[in-house]
């Protein structure tokens, strides 16, 4: 994924009404998932929530899991585990790159 593609997905530009239409969730459900710290919209100066495309994808995943009977606390645990795993993989990749660069320069 390119940097531009990543920033595009993470940019908080979508209002709750559009998120509601895209996900099929009610505003109440979306706000509940925010209260449960499953999503993190930004707020404008006037307090309007703004979501990213990544947030919309996360909401769809949450909705699918809830339909399967998964509780929000379990969803949160899974999300935290995935985030930690991703962070660990990035760290591992950085270390691997540093080692490769170091040993290439030693030849």
Same domain, 4 and 56: yes
Same domain, 5 and 41: yes
pLDDT tens digit sequence for 76-106: 999 888 888 777 777 888 888 888 887 777 6
pLDDT at 74: 94
Same domain, 98 and 53: no
Which residues on adjacent β-strands are paired with residue 43?
49
Count up the domains in the chain and report the number.
Answer: 2
Same domain, 66 and 99: no
Same domain, 26 and 77: no
Same domain, 46 and 77: no
Residue 83 lies in domain: 71-107
- Give me the phi and psi of 42, to 5 degrees please: -90, 165
Tell me whether residue 55 is exposed, middle or buried, using C-beta atoms within 10 angstroms of its C-beta: 0 to 12, 13 to 18, 19 or more.
Answer: buried
pTM, to two decimals: 0.71
Same domain, 8 and 35: yes
Question: Is pLDDT of 26 > 80?
Answer: yes
Task: Find, among 56, 61, 85, the residue nearest to 74 by Cα.
Answer: 61
CATH number for the domain harbouring residue 60: 1.10.1660.10
Q: What is the distance between the alpha carbons of residues 65 and 78, in angstroms, rounded to a whole number?
A: 11
Same domain, 34 and 77: no
pLDDT tens digit sequence for 47-78: 999 999 999 999 999 999 999 999 999 999 99
Q: Sign (positive/negative) of CA torsion 82, 84, 87, 89?
A: negative
Task: Find, among 11, 58, 65, 53, the residue nearest to 30 by Cα.
Answer: 58
């Amino acid at each position: 994924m390119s940097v531009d593609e990543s920033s595009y997905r993470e940019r908080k530009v979508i209002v709750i009404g559009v998120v509601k239409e895209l996900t099929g969730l009610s505003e109440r459900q979306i706000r509940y998932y925010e209260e449960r710290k499953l999503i993190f919209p930004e707020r404008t100066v006037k307090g309007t929530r703004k979501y990213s495309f990544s947030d919309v994808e996360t909401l769809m995943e949450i909705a699918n899991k809830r339909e399967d009977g998964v509780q929000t606390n379990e969803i949160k645990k899974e999300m935290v585990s995935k985030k930690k795993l991703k962070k660990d993989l990035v760290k591992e990749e950085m270390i691997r790159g540093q080692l490769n660069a170091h040993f290439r320069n030693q030849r």
